[in-house]
Amino acid sequence: MGQPLVLRSVAALRAWRQQCRRAGETMGLVPTMGALHVGHLSLVNRIRQEADRAVVSIFVNPTQFAPNEDFSIYPRTFERDLQQLSEIGADAVFAPTVQEMYPDGFATTVTVAGPAKVGLEDAFRPTHFGGVATVVSKLLLQALPECAIFGEKDYQQLAVIRHMVRDLDIPVEILAGLTVREADGLAMSSRNVYLSPEERALAPKIQEILQGCAEKLRKGSAILAAETWGRTELAIAGFEVDYIAVRDAASLAPVDEPRPGQSLRILVAAKLGRTRLIDNIAAN
């Protein structure tokens, strides 16, 4: 398949979008920060089933990184990303510069609450979801796609974006992509390249422990007991645990006693050395 059209400016994206619309074609957006892996490609494949045209944005968004985080070393692999996207038939790549997205004098941000303030990622990365919400609302308004897709791997991010789109009446359907895992269970992530060989060997434990927690809940364990078990097992395995929490799957609110039929999600964030891993699974 041919190389996707590379669009560097909002004007070029809008012109292409307009051309698609005139041809009667729908468009789906896959927002990414590049360093694409099979998980991202699965999102592109899914969006191609939902829309006539697929555009992938590649933008390492500075506003969602705190000063002590990995913005400067975040993997940037643009040529490889393009190659992979040509192989699966993405139609266009929107790759703006920081100046294009945040021109001098930029002064407007989106403030999020609800699922963005539930004591999970937000407790450890307090400015993160504001940055995500601002850039995602810009991308949605720039591209005006019929649908956009986000991976369940970043489960709280997905909940925040769904909520924001609903609250701000942004006319787009938000789709969720299933987490893609390595053969040993580790959730694919662009940050997995930071792991040393020893850490990489340990990392799948996070998924095993999530499964163990879900199993305990299915067998009737109390939520607090399952969380405590998970935290202890992670610590024994060598992780520094930020959180492991069983939450309502939609609101991400804490749950003491699940209601009959209530969907629960188990979410975890833990560090191996300097690499912070996040993962989540359905609990029931």
Given the rule CB under 6 A, which residues bind ligand PAF? 31-33, 61, 64, 132, 135-136, 154, 157
Q: Which is nearer to ligand PAF, 161 or 234 (CB)?
A: 161
CB of 42 to ligand PAF, least distance (A): 14
Q: Which is nearer to ligand PAF, 32 or 234 (CB)?
A: 32
CB of 168 to ligand PAF, least distance (A): 16
Task: Compute φ and ψ for 186, nearest 5 degrees.
Answer: -65, 130
CB of 154 to ligand PAF, least distance (A): 5
Q: Which is nearer to ligand PAF, 160 or 245 (CB)?
A: 160
To the query of whether residue 40 is one of the catalytic residues in this protein, the response is: yes
- The upper half-sphere exposure of residue 272, i.e. CA atoms within 13 Å in the direction of its Cβ, equals 23
Whole-angstrom distance, CA of residue 83 vs CA of residue 10: 23
Contacts for 169 with CB less than 8 Å, ≥ 6 apart: none
Q: Name the H helices within the chain.
A: 10-22, 38-50, 78-88, 98-101, 121-124, 128-143, 155-167, 197-202, 205-218, 223-237
Whole-angstrom distance, CA of residue 259 vs CA of residue 114: 20
CB of 153 to ligand PAF, least distance (A): 8
Q: Which is nearer to ligand PAF, 31 or 230 (CB)?
A: 31
| 37, 40, 128, 163: the active-site residue | 40
Q: Is 105 left (phi over 0), alpha (psi -120 to 50) or beta?
A: left
Catalytic residue numbers? 40
